[in-house]
Amino acid sequence: MRQYVDQWRHLLPAGTGDVLVLLVQLIVVLTVVGWAYNRGFRAHDRGPLLRLPLLTLSFGLALLVRSFHQEWWQPLVIATAVIVAGFFDRNDTGRGMVLPIMLIATLLGLGLVLSALALTVVALFVFMLSPVTKR
């Protein structure tokens, strides 16, 4: 089996495994936070667990933050992403979960997995314990 995998591995560019791991991390985070966010809503008010536009936007942000290696570009990209995420949350009638996901995506893009895990746990507690009308 290993020889068949090695036979096709040269077709993938270098670093593809890291990008796939980042994508899987974001999918898991979005699914778990989406589940916690949807708790408390009635069945017809619930959204999908995995929101594809949000996954695409957060994955792009994580790749963008990951591609910059200068110390002064990363804070600018993160600040711009937080501002844009705030506008998206504002247009979503105040019920969006864009801002925490964007912050988690930037932490994952920077390689700060433990910090992203801590922020995910905090977001889970906030969404599970807050009343639905406050979201």
Q: How far apart are the first and last CA of the chain?
A: 50
Higher-scoring residue by pLDDT: 32, 133: 32
pLDDT in tens, 14-45: 677 788 899 999 999 999 998 988 887 777 77
SS3 category, 97? coil
**pLDDT cut 70: percent of the chain above it:** 85
Q: Cα separation of 119 and 32, whole Å?
A: 12
Q: Cα separation of 53 and 51, whole Å?
A: 6
